[in-house]
Amino acid sequence: MQRTFYDRKTRRVRDLSYGDTRAYLEVEIRRVACRSCGAVKQEKLPWLANNPFYTRRFAFYVDRRCRSATVRDVAHELRLDWKTVKALEMEYMHELLRRAGTPGPKVIGIDEFSIGRGHNYRIIVSDLVRGRPIWFGGMDRSEKGMDLFYQWLGPRKCKAIRLAVMDMWKPFRNSTLKAGNAPQAGIHYNKFHILKHLNEALDKVRKSEYARLSGKDRRFIKGQRYTLLSRRANLTQDGRRSLKALFKANQRLNKAYLLKEMFGQLWDDKREMWARRFFERWKSALRWQRLKPYEKFARMVEVHWDGIASYCHEENKVPLGFVEGINNKSRVIQRRAYGLQDEEYLRLKILTCMLPEI
C-alpha cells in the first residue's frame, strides 16, 4: 500500500519530569494519504502512549507510582486528572500481561474474593509454580463460575494441570474434576482454611466456658480471644503469662489449646500412613474431653481426608500461603482505593500485582 505525504501538525507531549520541572516535547506528527483507499491516516510513533499527549515511558512511570499510592494521590503529585492517571495505568497493566504471556499452569490455587456488600464473589486462580494470579472472574463462587476458568484456559492446557489447591468448597472440587475440565488433577485442601475451622472450634469452646462460669472465674477468660488463637511461638512474654494463668484456672481450655497446637504437626509428615496414624492419635485425645466443636471438626477432617493427606507426597509440597497472600493483597488494593467501582480495573490490578515492573 503506497502512501503520499498529506500534511503535518505539531503536538506537545508530556515526558518524564526533570526534578521538580515538568518536561514537554514538541513533536511533528505527519498525516499521509493512502493511494489505495484514499483515506488520510496519522503517523503512529512507537514511543508515544495510547493517549498521544504522553510518552510511553511517562505512562510507565505513572503506573509504577500507582503500585504504592492511590490514583488520586498520583494525580495530585503529577498535576493530572485522575481519569488520565487511571487510563495510563490500565495501558501499562495491559502491557504487563502481554509480556507475561499466556499461562500454562501445572499447579493452581483457587480462592474466592468478596467484592462489594453481600454474597458477591469473584474467583481468583493462581499459578503456584510461577507465583502469580492468572485469572479473575466468574459472577459468583458456583460451579458454573469455576467452569469459566477452564473454558478460558482451553482443553490442552487444562490437561497439564496436575494439582489444584482450594478450600473445602464443594463447587470448586466438582468443577475441577468434571470431564472436560481437569479430572486428572489431584485435589489438595488448603492448610490455612482447615486451621481456620480449628480456630473457630477453639473460639466456640472459649465462649461456652465463659458462659458456664460466672463472677470472678470469668476474669481469666475475658479478653483472651486473640491470645488463644495465636500460635505460642508468636506470643509475647505478656501473652504467655496470660495463657499460663488461664490454663491454671481452666483445664478444658488448656486441653483445647494444646490440641490446636498439636494438630498443626499433621502437615510435617512425609508419608500418608504416618499422617493417618497421627490423626488417629489426635482423635483419641478428644475422648472424655467434652469438646463438641472439636469432635465436629474431626468429622469434617475425616470426610475431606483425601484432599488433606495428599500434601504428604513430596511432589505436592507447594507454597500454600500464596493463595491466602493473593487474597490479602487484593483486599489491600480495595482498601487503598476505598473501594473500586470499575471491575475491569480491579481485575487488572490483581492480575499484575505480582508481575515485575517494566
Average pLDDT per block of 10 residues along the chain, 358 residues long: 64 90 89 78 85 90 88 91 91 91 91 81 92 91 93 93 93 94 93 92 91 82 86 85 86 90 88 91 89 94 91 83 84 74 87 89
Asked if 178 and 325 sit in the same domain, the reply is yes
* Domain presence at residue 357: no
Asked if 55 and 16 sit in the same domain, the reply is yes
pLDDT at 6: 61
pLDDT at 340: 67
Asked if 119 and 154 sit in the same domain, the reply is yes
Q: In angstroms, what CA-CA distances link 205 with 127, 198, 235, 289?
A: 37, 11, 20, 11
User: CA nearest 163: which of 342, 48, 303, 313?
Assistant: 313
- The set of cell numbers assigned to 107 is 499447579
- The set of cell numbers assigned to 345 is 480495573
The DSSP result for 136-165, as a single string, is: EE-SSSSHHHHHHHHHHH-HHHHTT--EEE
Q: Looking at residue 218, what DSSP letter applies? A: G
Asked if 293 and 280 sit in the same domain, the reply is yes
* Domain presence at residue 347: yes
* Domain presence at residue 250: yes
Distance CA 127, CA 110 (A): 9
Residue with cell 493462581: 126
Domain harbouring 139, CATH code: 3.30.420.10
Domain hosting 250: range is 191-315
How many domains does the chain divide into?
Answer: 3
In the three-class reduction of DSSP (H, G, I as helix; E, B as strand; rest coil), residue 167 is classed as coil
For helices 321-336 and 343-352, what crossing angle results, to 10°?
130
Question: What's the whole-model pTM score?
Answer: 0.83
